[in-house]
Chain A
Amino acid sequence: MVRNRTALLLFRLVLGGLFVYAGAIKALEPLDFAQSIRNYDIVGQALSFFAALVLPWLEILAGVFLIAGVWTRGAALVISGLLVFFIALTVVTMVRGLDIDCGCFGAVDRKAGVSVILEDLAMLYLGLCVLCQKGAPAQKGTGALEALE
């Protein structure tokens, strides 16, 4: 795992930024995202609806906290957990032979497939590096701005 502070800061900014972006797109169009979740055919209509309302905000909040350097490891745990879930979901979807949009970045037409898994694995690596760092930056007073100094 990477331990270099500058690299970890970069990881936080990239990963946090991606999650804020992905969350914001989905938060703007909750019904489109609900349909994307429903298409996976794993949960019903009601759960798809409520997941579509909550998941984008979880992504946004975790991303913002990661960028800000507040509760960094907690945010990294949320993001890593989500990524593990997304990867498992995509694998199951491929095994079941479903040809559906992944819903990763809103309504962009992109199939749930190998490229999505590789992308999620790369992000998971960044998330785990941040999660496994020794001591949270916030504890040591090394938030994003201070680390840049």
Chain B
Amino acid sequence: MRRFFYVLFAVVEKDLRLEWRTKESLLVMVVFALLVLTLFSFAFGPGGGSGENARAVQAGILWISFLFACVIGLSRTMSVERESAGFSAMYLSPSDPSALYLGKVVSVAVLMGIMEVVGFAVLAVLYQANVWKSAGALAIVAISATVGIAAAGTLFSAMSARTRTREVLLPVLMFPVLVPVLIAAVKASEAHLGGGGWADSRDWIRLMLVYDVVFLVAASLVFEYILEE
């Protein structure tokens, strides 16, 4: 068990250090998320429209932009792994593939978390959204969604990185599988952006947690077959 976490943290440490050196993924993720958030404002009108529907639109815009930015970031991270044959090197070691997978998920989730903080701040400014009042609740929503997105994203990007088309395939594989997370994250965020209580978001958060657990367990078990050359 100790060894499991030792390896897991070694992967996280390596990924974050690499990211800190190059800032390749994070920068492009944040800029891309900002861009999409702004573009949607042009598409739906300032502040995502007016009236009751605005908050639903805002929540939708937010998570769509996070999802898109995540695809960009994942492609970057995985192309670094591909260039250095990182997965093969991992598979040469006697480490537990699930530890390697979960380490990768954690580092992806950390990058996404940083991007999301910026995203929420921008939402508060550009869309006059009530982010601060329910920041705690939104953080819980964001964390449960991010774990799911990172879990699926890591698995599928590791796969698509080894195909001929690479990046093109990632959204095609990833988005349909992430539909439950998208729905739940949007609905739960919508509830809290509207000043709603836990009653409106509890079930959605629970759904995301179920998704997270199912996906993390299943992907940990099969990651070995992705690493193999």
Q: Does A pair with B?
A: no
Taking Cβ atoms with an 8 Å cutoff, the residues of A that contact B are: none
Chain B positions near chain A (C-beta within 8 angstroms): none
